[in-house]
Amino acid sequence: MFCLTSSLEDYLEIIYILSEKSLKVGITDIAKALTVSKPSAIKAIKILKNEKLVSQEKYGKILLTSEGKKAAMAVYDKHKVISKFLNKVLEISEKTAEIDACKIEHILSKETVNGIKNYLKNVKI
């Protein structure tokens, strides 16, 4: 059974973020945003295509499938929750909160992410 790696989640997430703000999302945009080489991005996209999370015609732009968008939004949602928690509750600088959220969003258990959500819900900031 296929399972998204942290790296692939990063790709999905950035495709989602980019497509929210601009219409065209190409390999070059993705590579730049993740600061990886274009061939690295291509490899990752190829896997996501195989998993039907992304679609792309040859030499064309990249689109999330509905399943891909769902997965991407789930990651991005975690990201927002975690960075908000770090920044508002632990008073970590916005920049560091972003960086740390990027790193742990892929590996925190569901239970802990829910714990953070509840905390934010119950505690006034």
Partner DNA sequence: GAAAAAAGTTAGCCCGGGTTTACTTTTTTA
Partner DNA sequence: TAAAAAAGTAAACCCGGGCTAACTTTTTTC
Considering beta carbons, is residue 57 or 111 the nearer one to a second copy? 111
Is 122 one of the binding residues for a second copy (CB under 8 A)? no
Is 94 one of the binding residues for a second copy (CB under 8 A)? no
41-60 residues in contact with a second copy (CB under 8 A) are none
User: How far apart, in whole angstroms, are the C-alpha atoms of residue 20 and residue 96?
Assistant: 23
The dihedrals phi and psi of 61, each to the nearest 5 degrees, come to -85, 165
User: How far apart, in whole angstroms, are the C-alpha atoms of residue 30 and residue 33?
Assistant: 5
**Contacting positions for DNA (CB under 7 A):** 5-8, 10, 26-29, 35-40, 42-47, 56, 58-61
Considering beta carbons, is residue 6 or 93 the nearer one to DNA? 6
Helix ranges, 22-123 (H) = 27-34, 38-50, 66-84, 94-104, 110-122
Q: Which DSSP helix (H) or strand (E) runs through 54?
A: strand 54-55
Residue 13 binding partner per list a second copy, DNA, none, with a CB distance cut-off of 5 to 8 Å that depends on partner kind = none
Residues of this chain that interact with a second copy (CB under 8 A) are 86, 89-93, 96-97, 99-100, 103-104, 107-109, 111-112, 115-116, 118-119
